[in-house]
Homo-oligomer: A and B are copies of this chain.
Amino acid sequence: MRYHKIPDETVRRLPIYLRGLMFSAEKGNEHISSQSLAASVGVHSWQIRKDFSYFGDFGTPGVGYNIGKLAREIQKILRLDVIKRAALVGVGDLGSALLAYPGFGAYGLDIVAAFDIDPQKIGRTISGVEIEDVSGIDSLVQRSIFLAIVAVPRQVAQQTVDRLVAAGIKGVLNFAPCKVEAPKRVKVITLDIAMELARLPYYMPVS
């Protein structure tokens, strides 16, 4: 089975593997076994082998996987080799934190534009990105930006997404805690931080 259909759950784990592979590469390794990778990322080795099996042979029995080759392949599958630039809409507390967040770089991603409606904020620079008026959204595609992060209040999340969709954006990471609609051609992932915290007590021991 080569390159056919990669399960969603596998796609969800690919960034984890990428992180682990890069970490191992930094330490100067060239090869890594599914077992060592398993230990470093916290996923079972058989799961890793199964996941990798969906997109071809990268391993050498008795040796392991070539780290560089495998990392590049994962980046290619996730399309991180092509999509590198993202825009941020909404530079409030969360938006500012995202601008300062160093973690995107590990995946080759970078926030290169930021928008807000507050005239007080427009023109200011945060973490090296100048805040523009939201009208700038309309020309995102001309600037080769196809990915957007929405960090606006819930009440204006849908209209923000509508505008991004109209501008030709193809993917949205939405932090607003609500459903947002978009045409099928636009992928939306909603990440509700409070929701994650809210399901935690369920799993906590009672005593």
A residues in contact (CB < 8 Å) with B: 11-12, 14-16, 18-19, 40-42, 77-80, 82-83, 86, 93-94, 96-98, 100-101, 103-104, 106-107, 109, 146-147, 149, 170-173, 177-179, 181, 185, 187, 189, 191-206
User: How many copies of this chain are found per oligomer?
Assistant: 2
**Which of A18, A170, A172, A185 has the most chain B CB atoms closer than 10 A to its own CB?**
A170
The CA of A171 and the CA of B204, in the complex, are separated in Å by 6
A77 touches B200 (CB 8 A): no
Main secondary structure of the interface of A (DSSP, over half): helix
A59 to chain B, nearest CB (A): 22
The CA of A16 and the CA of B179, in the complex, are separated in Å by 9
27 sample A-B contacts, Cβ–Cβ < 8 Å, listed by A number: A11-B202, A15-B194, A16-B195, A18-B198, A19-B177, A40-B179, A42-B179, A42-B181, A77-B202, A78-B199, A80-B198, A82-B201, A93-B97, A94-B101, A96-B97, A103-B192, A103-B193, A104-B194, A106-B194, A107-B195, A147-B204, A171-B203, A173-B197, A173-B200, A187-B200, A189-B200, A191-B191
The 9 closest A-B pairs by CB, nearest first: A42-B179, A83-B201, A187-B203, A103-B194, A79-B201, A97-B97, A93-B97, A107-B198, A170-B204
Extra contacts besides A11-B202, A93-B96 (17): CB < 8 Å: A11-B199, A78-B202, A79-B204, A79-B206, A80-B198, A80-B201, A83-B204, A96-B97, A101-B193, A107-B194, A107-B195, A109-B194, A170-B204, A172-B200, A173-B196, A191-B193, A191-B196
